[in-house]
Chain A
Amino acid sequence: MSNIVVLVKASLNPEVVRQNPDGTFDIDYTPLKISDVDRNALEEAVRLKQVFGGKVYSVTVLTWGPLKAREKDLRLVVQEALAKVADEAFVVADESIIPGDYSVTANVIASVIKKMGLNPILVLAGEASIDESTYQIPGRVAAKLGLPYVGYVRRIREVRDGRVVVERDLEDYIEVLEVPLPAVLSVTQELNEPRPPTLIQIRMASRKPVHMLTLKDLGLDVKRQRSIVEMRVVTVSRKQVLIEEADVEKAALKLVEYLEKEGVLRL
């Protein structure tokens, strides 16, 4: 059986950054959403599922609390994975690993894959999550599973003879690589155009199994390394002058006048 595992993160939404009165970041009231690039990974899984013929599993490790307050957001993320392509979802929600720690998250993901017998031919993840953007969970998971890892996959060209041919987008050039399977890939936004799940898919998703796990279920003991000292919201103080004119000539004149006053026009 050639299964696919897609790593799907419930990330803090950077478009809705909540702030405490003292300027610190209010994590508890900032909502979660699916990490954008994971949608590209899910979309690719739709295509690859037909090639491999096995099952698709999504794995999500909750990294932000408070647990109770995250239930609804978490459910929506998992539901999207199921509606889109996953046959079953594995979710680890456990107070003891909140807030997340990169090494812990990777260990938990690898443990779910091994202990739940997911047996993947391919693990797909995003290049970076939208909250932490650490670019490292996929590489860590590969190391834990002892599999080859290729990051920044911009295109999956073909699957042949137990290998995938991919284009990897590195710092200064693009490489076409042949990767032996099983393997872990992280993908970029350029990979495909994710389509939102249809209403029927969303309805079907509610019948698919969601396995809620704790560290105890996995028999895992972990040690966190990072202690967060402080989180500050970066204040952007832009003037926010609105120029809204039915007549574009008027709008252009207005803008030019403002820019001259700012001293940023040199014609």
Chain B
Amino acid sequence: MSDVIVVSQKPSDAGELIGLARTMGNPVIVAFQDSAERVEELLGYGHRVYRVKSSRPEVLAKAVNILYEEFKPKLILGPNTRNVKDAMSVVAGLHDIHMAPDVVEVRGEVDGVIYKRGFMSERVTITVKVPYPTIILANPRIAEPAPKGGVGELKELSFDSMGVKVVEVKPKELSGINLEAAEVVVGVGRGFKAKDDLRMAFELAKLLGGQVGGTRPIAADLKWLPEDAWIGISGKRIAPKLYIAIGVSGAPQHMSGVAGSKIIVAVNKDKAAPIIKQSDYGVVADLYKFIPTLIEVLKRKRGASHST
């Protein structure tokens, strides 16, 4: 009997989710998008794998729904991605079961689960108890990855999608930079008036051996930075030694993404900007005057230390 459905979008998310699933029951796996293409990696865990040859939320929702009705599982586990959240919200609605996205801790009990997640743009943590069956979408590092072993059985699933038709698929512009691993991050916000002006931020980052990221409007609206440089609750979560936010107001959705930084510096011309109170060092200045000067000062310093 299978009583946990594990949804996997990328093989890299499967290990931890299967590890978690095994602590609570007997998993079957639904593999879509990258995981459907590299299904052998998932079969290596020794469980039955249902392959859905699509990455679309509508199709995933149907597939999981069919399995839900067949297995009547107590739990659906998945990664906290946009595709999965979308699909599972529909499954949750069809069966009136609870769904918790962005979960950072979860524990199975006899009559339900207790989980923890961020609330109020992650300025509050909320611990909740819900009865089975339920849907949990977990953040990375939720559990120890499951060891591999055995060969699972493969089944194919395919469905239509409520008349929703794909006209075109556009890749996102990605830079491939790894902001999560950077020791220094320079974050840019709407205080910059033109894309060209970001040159200052790149120069500063280069001097400090760091990377450049930005707020959501800079990446998603203005497209001045690639999409994977977007920092915050709906983008990347970073934990550098030094985060320098320039022309960033400090909205809670941005700040939750930089909470892991050791030192936060804010450069903002408005002393009342919320970020000033959420920084270690708040420089009240016009970035157009301050950043070039800071770069000069740092260059002088570097020159001095290199010549001695």
Contact = CB atoms under 8 A, between A and B. Distances in A.
Interface of A: 12, 14-15, 17, 25, 30, 101-103, 106-107, 128, 130-144, 148-152, 154, 165, 167, 169-180, 188-190, 225-234, 236, 238-245, 248-249, 251-253, 255-256, 258-259, 262, 264-267
Contacts of B290: 248, 251-252
Contact of A170 (B83, B125, B271): B83
Contacts of B276: 240, 242
Interface string B88-124: 1111111011111110000000000010001111111
Given A231-B125, A244-B284, 6 more contacts: A107-B96, A138-B89, A139-B93, A171-B82, A245-B285, A251-B283
Interface string B257-286: 001001111000001001011111111110
A225 B169 contact: no
Given A133-B121, A229-B114, A231-B126, A267 B170 contact: no
Contacts, number: 262
B241 interface: yes
Nearest to A132: B119
Interface in B75-89: 81-83, 85-86, 88-89
A264 B242 contact: yes
Contacts of B271: 242, 244
A240 B92 contact: no
Nearest to B125: A232
Contact of A240 (B220, B282, B296): B282
Interface of B: 9, 33, 55-58, 81-83, 85-86, 88-94, 96-102, 114, 118-131, 134, 162-172, 184, 207-209, 216-217, 220-221, 233-234, 241-242, 251-253, 259, 262-265, 271, 274, 276-285, 289-290, 293-294, 296-298, 301-302, 305
Main secondary structure of the interface of A (DSSP, over half): mixed
B165 A177 contact: yes
A232 B294 CA distance: 39
Given A102-B98, A144-B93, A264-B242, A228 B301 contact: no
Contact of B93 (A140, A229, A241, A253): A140
Contact of B167 (A128, A152, A178, A252): A178
A220 B172 CA distance: 44
A148 B114 CA distance: 32
B128 A228 contact: yes
Contact of B282 (A138, A225, A242, A266): A242
B277 to A, nearest CB: 6
A225 B98 contact: yes
A248 B90 contact: no
